[in-house]
Amino acid sequence: MAAAAPTPTSSLVSKPHSFANLPKLHSKFTLPFPRNPQKPNAAAAAAISHRRNLQISNVISSPNKKIQREETFVSRFAPDEPRKGSDVLVEALEREGVTNVFAYPGGASMEIHQALTRSSTIRNVLPRHEQGGIFAAEGYARASGLPGVCIATSGPGATNLVSGLADALLDSIPLVAITGQVPRRMIGTDAFQETPIVEVTRSITKHNYLVLDVEDIPRIVKEAFFLARSGRPGPVLIDIPKDVQQQMVVPNWDQPMRLGSYLSRLPRPPSGVLLEQIVRLISESKKPVLYVGGGCLNSSKELKRFVELTGIPVASTLMGLGSYPCSDEEISLQMLGMHGTVCANYSVDKSDLLLAFGVRFDDRVTGKLEAFASRAKIVHIDIDSAEIGKNKQPHVSICADIKLALDGLNSILEDRSNGGKISLDFSAWRRELKEQKTNFPLTFKTFGDAIPPQYAIQVLDELTGGNAIISTGVGQHQMWSAQFYKYNKPRQWLTSSGLGAMGFGLPAAIGAAVARPDAVVVDIDGDGSFIMNVQELATVRVENLPVKIMILNNQHLGMVVQWEDRFYKANRAHTFLGNPSDESEIFPNMLKFAEACGIPAARVTKKDDLRAAIQKMLDTPGPYLLDVIVPHQEHVLPMIPSGGAFKDVITEGDGRTKY
């Protein structure tokens, strides 16, 4: 997914000025501020501040649109009552609708945590490491579509957020990260736990702020949330010195945002002429294919309608899984790319029209760029103008919100279908692709009692009806989870796609469980990824989150081992994660980690026992850890080697074979 965001930048804040003449933002939806469920008393009623609904939009509309009706927010403070900057910050979060944060305290952020204890609206889910906190905030955002919020102290606390910020930027995840900073007078003096986090994160955030005036906090928080979720979503960092947090102020909640240049670059509604041109290309095509990515996650309904009207097969990126149901055997080709299905990659290779919606032509999808969709006319629709033509030059491009573009395409198709002006039949093309599915299905081999890791995911899919929220770490288990679990809805699939950050799975599952307490949440993890944030088991237990953890434990860094097998003559270069002095022992003992945190756990080693073990995991109330021992010789197939083309696809072999 991509956007009309400003280039990553930073702000040293100053006094605001008005942009009254800018066109108003128009949106199809709003996020109301939370209401106090209790009837306010007289003092509270006096403190009511009238607020408008936050206008969330990816496009600019004309100034004539009606403004949404006003909402009210009940403050804990009287209108003219001074309060600390930290209390202003917490109330600003409340006004943005925040109900959960993932915050780890320290010296420079203590004031914020003290203020959080005075909030009756916001719950802090205490991580055991700042990286766990930001990955949990990402999981929250990915599962809910709302911005995730994490808070850390200065210095090492702030730098521990770096991987999460980079991950959120690459995967376009709305995130607001707040860091404490040393007092203003000490900035630049190499003070204790001082890190210039604004400079450190400049290139891995959509925008960031260093707050130098306590009066700017209301405006900055408003801008940060707007930036995080408008256009191409992404992470925004707010760095607040401790003395600003402690400063007393009467806040002005009606300050206008100062985002003139950003607003002017947000894309307009899609051109009707270009949409007509796309419909004409579809009508002339014989072998079209949809290539959909994370940009389509908020447009699943419109995408399904487009497919109903056209019958065009759908191939998804790793980020796009769930935007169209993977269980639709007729239309879904599942994932394309390096470890995508043969039929998905075949469809792109043979297509005459590639409809690239909400994607960025990532190298793990395209392989050799010159050979990717070399026979096809390419239509690229994306919200980020920077992505259009960056890697692959399209024949037709539209910089717009994909939801609006699909709405427009659907309207044209419906009108023409009803008028008898267009009749689309791609059944012969779908039969050709079905033959590829039949000839090259996703499959695996079984060796004795050993548990094929693919089978474990297949059984989990069956027992959960394909309805669980799945998070993963990074590696072989991640690719098998993408291949063998059938995602039918958006926001079921949480994984670090662009950055590929190991240790993502468990904290992301925590965030998902907080955001979606009604859902079954399963972290499918590898032993290497799991141990990178194993400390978050303590958070799972203390918060009593019903997170299920299924570790595919092969005692190796599996994906690197696969590359060693294929390209380095199976020479093991520090990829064995067990105990070299006793390779027959399962090391470390994952069950002991679970026991230390009071989480029920079990280990399964035989295929015949697997189904019952997974069922027990799902049936056990609260958290549960299942250690599934799998062979390390398994390879993720199909595989197109890095920089290769469809003709180079590998469909056979594993670590038991010499290359």
**What one-letter code names the amino acid at 297?**
L
CA–CA separation, 358 and 382 (whole Å): 5
Number of H helices and E strands in the chain, helices first, is: 24, 25
Which among 84, 222, 242, 486 is annotated as catalytic?
242
Which among 24, 71, 77, 193 is annotated as catalytic?
193
Q: How far is CA 622 from the centre of its chain?
A: 25
CA–CA separation, 320 and 317 (whole Å): 5
Which among 559, 590, 617, 639 is annotated as catalytic?
559
335 catalytically annotated: no
Which among 15, 65, 192, 583 is annotated as catalytic?
192
Question: Which DSSP category does 270 fall into?
Answer: P
77 catalytically annotated: no
Q: Which of 338, 381, 332, 374 is nearest to 360 (CA)?
A: 381
The torsion defined by the Cα of 87, 88, 90 and 93, in degrees rounded to 10, comes to 170
Q: Which of 417, 466, 419 is nearest to 305 (CA)?
A: 417
Secondary structure element (H or E) that encloses residue 31, with its range? strand 30-31
242 catalytically annotated: yes
Question: Which DSSP category does 569 fall into?
Answer: T
Q: Let me know: does 628 contact 553? Beta carbons within 8 Å.
A: yes
454 catalytically annotated: no
CA–CA separation, 511 and 138 (whole Å): 7
Long-range contact set of residues 373-379: C-beta below 8 Å, sequence gap at least 24: 373/348, 373/349, 374/349, 375/349, 375/350, 375/351, 376/289, 376/348, 376/351, 376/352, 377/281, 377/285, 377/352, 377/353, 378/354, 379/278, 379/281, 379/353, 379/354, 379/355
130 catalytically annotated: yes
Q: Is 430 helix (H, G, I), strand (E, B) or coil?
A: helix
Intra-chain end-to-end CA distance of the chain, in Å = 37
CA–CA separation, 335 and 331 (whole Å): 12
Give ∠ CA 562-563-568 in degrees, rounded to 5.
Answer: 120
Which among 91, 130, 223, 387 is annotated as catalytic?
130
Q: Let me know: does 129 contact 538? Beta carbons within 8 Å.
A: no
Crossing angle for the helix pair 607-619 and 453-464, to the nearest 10 degrees: 40
What tokens appear for 60 in the block? 């600019």
Which residues are part of the catalytic machinery?
A: 130, 192-193, 242, 559
